[in-house]
Amino acid sequence: MQSFFNKSNTIAPPEFNRWRVPPAALAIHLCIGQIYAYSVFNKPLSQALGITKPVEGDWTLVQVGYIFSIALFFLGASAAVFGRWLERVGPRKAMFASALCFSGGFLLSALGVWGHQIWLLYLGNGVLGGIGLGLGYISPVSTLIKWFPDRPGMATGMAIMGFGGGAMIAAPLSIRLMAFFQSPDSIGVAETFLVLGGLYLAYMLFGVLTIRIPAEGWQPAGVGDLNKQKKPVLGLDAEAAIRTPQFYLLFAVLLLNVSAGIGVLGQASVMIQEMFSEKVMGADRAVSAVAAGGFVGVLSLFNMAGRFFWSSLSDKIGRRNTYTIFFLLGAILYILIPFTGRMGNIVLFTGAFCLIMSMYGGGFATIPAYLRDLFGTKEVGAIHGRLLLAWSMAAILGPQLINNIRAYQIETLQIPAAEAYSITMYLMAGLLIIGFLCNLLIKPLHITK
């Protein structure tokens, strides 16, 4: 059994078809992407005792909201800490650990709901689930980069697109399961957690069983000798990589791109309702809360599609040029958004947001290939893991910036809610301009083996 998990036993035979690897990677990412749909549990968890409405002793929405934050924190932290371990033991063992942690987190959380102990949910879906997320996020990505040296952007885009798609499966599935298990005595969340834990374990084990790594020196047929081309094949280890200015510039690039996107993503529903409210548009053309929910759904589709589109495009036009588009086009779109609100043009507003969200997703998906171009494939998973700390930081920075500036404008400056987003949008554009400058400063490393 132990030998099954050994790195040497995951090396693919010569006739192995590399297109069998992306489904293994997707099996992991489609599961762990569930975290983006965790908010569907927030309301039910906040009335776990009262069942139909919150009663004394029920958890508050703020208490429940911490589960998501803890999970994202441990995603970044575990990716950074366990990155080198992953490179040493290989993807199969790391993905197995991820499957156990992620599904185990659901089982522990189910106990927490039954016993009404919030700390068990923090430990389950938060800490344990977060570690599963971190390990599961970087393992398949670093493997795919090694299988697709000719198209690393497309390969990693496929896996990271799965992370975006995971929420689209998890949200309707969770809602259906909760409705199925709901009874006069139970909100149905504990039972849903048990089922999800079992389903995710089985699904992720498919990835564990089918993942393979290429033999050393393997090259895809028909692409020539990549060793003779400009890209470094082996490259730097994680310790050496984090001592280069390029790493910190890339850290800033990811931090700024994600901060701008994540900030508006969390506010998208409120923003469209306030910018196109009854007061601004009239009763017949105002955007309702239900329509705003549809708008957020469309954004999540573009977020997912952008992960594949932009990272694949980066194989053709280069990583630096792709990020240049993200930053310049993104800045222009952010500046345009307040005007679309003033014009009352909801189609233009939605179009701009869809493009912004596609570039937000594209930023996540293109970064592993950018790392590979700069530092090589030697420890790309470990380097990627450390870079993901930028994501954890952005998850705090982006929403805080948007929320605080909006609150300051409405409460202190007495600006109408429909106009309160202008300064925020200009600030986001400013962040992207700084990101553009950081990207401009990134120069290739000259690695000597």
Give the C-alpha distances (Å, rounded to integers) separating 427 from 274, 299, 326, 420, 424: 19, 21, 16, 12, 5
Segment near other proteins (CB under 8 A); pick from 46-54, 103-111, 282-290, 406-414 = 282-290
Any contact of residue 344 with other proteins (CB under 8 A)?
no
Give the C-alpha distances (Å, rounded to integers) separating 133 from 128, 178, 411: 9, 23, 38
Chosen residue from 5, 85, 181, 206 binding other proteins by CB under 8 A: 206
Calculate ∠ Cα 359-365-368, nearest 5°: 135
CB of 124 to other proteins, least distance (A): 24
Chosen residue from 50, 198, 245, 293 binding other proteins by CB under 8 A: 293
DSSP codes, 192-236: HHHHHHHHHHHHHHHHHHH--BPPTT---TTS--GGGSSS-SS--
Q: What is the DSSP letter of 58?
A: P
Nearer to other proteins, 1 or 290 (CB): 290
Contact of 208 with 132, CB cutoff 8 Å: no
CB of 202 to other proteins, least distance (A): 11
Q: What is the rounded distance in angstroms from the CA atom of residue 380 to the CA atom of residue 61? A: 38
Place of tokens 């090396």: 11
At a CB cut-off of 8 Å and minimum separation 6, what does 95 contact? 28, 135, 136, 139, 140, 204, 207, 208, 211
CB of 393 to other proteins, least distance (A): 28
Nearer to other proteins, 88 or 285 (CB): 285
Nearest C-alpha neighbor of 38 from the set 130, 157, 140, 156: 130
Contact of 121 with 109, CB cutoff 8 Å: yes
CB of 301 to other proteins, least distance (A): 6
Nearer to other proteins, 272 or 313 (CB): 272
Give the C-alpha distances (Å, rounded to integers) separating 221 from 147, 226, 228, 319: 11, 11, 15, 24
Nearer to other proteins, 247 or 360 (CB): 360
Nearer to other proteins, 161 or 359 (CB): 161
Any contact of residue 103 with other proteins (CB under 8 A)?
no
Contact of 99 with 190, CB cutoff 8 Å: no
**Both tokens assigned to 368:** 């592993």
CB of 329 to other proteins, least distance (A): 24
Any contact of residue 444 with other proteins (CB under 8 A)?
no
Could you say which residues in the range 140-199 bind other proteins, by CB under 8 A? 162, 165-172
Segment near other proteins (CB under 8 A); pick from 70-78, 186-194, 300-308, 416-424 = 300-308
Helix (H/G/I), strand (E/B), else coil: 183: strand
Place of tokens 């040029």: 321
Q: What is the rounded distance in angstroms from the CA atom of residue 321 to the CA atom of residue 328? A: 10
Any contact of residue 347 with other proteins (CB under 8 A)?
no
**Both tokens assigned to 111:** 């106990």
CB of 17 to other proteins, least distance (A): 6
Neighbours of 184 (CB within 10 A): 6
CB of 369 to other proteins, least distance (A): 21
Any contact of residue 268 with other proteins (CB under 8 A)?
no
Segment near other proteins (CB under 8 A); pick from 4-12, 56-64, 99-107, 285-293 = 285-293
Any contact of residue 437 with other proteins (CB under 8 A)?
no
At a CB cut-off of 8 Å and minimum separation 6, what does 271 contact? 264, 421
Any contact of residue 208 with other proteins (CB under 8 A)?
no
CB of 166 to other proteins, least distance (A): 8
Any contact of residue 417 with other proteins (CB under 8 A)?
no
If binding means CB under 8 A, how many residues of this protein chain bind other proteins? 33
Could you say which residues in the range 348-377 bind other proteins, by CB under 8 A? none
Could you say which residues in the range 29-48 bind other proteins, by CB under 8 A? 30
Per-residue mark of binding to other proteins, 7-26 (x: CB under 8 A)? --------x-x-xx--xx-x
Place of tokens 């293109």: 366
Residues that bind other proteins (CB under 8 A): 15, 17, 19-20, 23-24, 26-27, 30, 162, 165-172, 206, 210, 286-288, 290-291, 293-295, 297-298, 300-301, 304
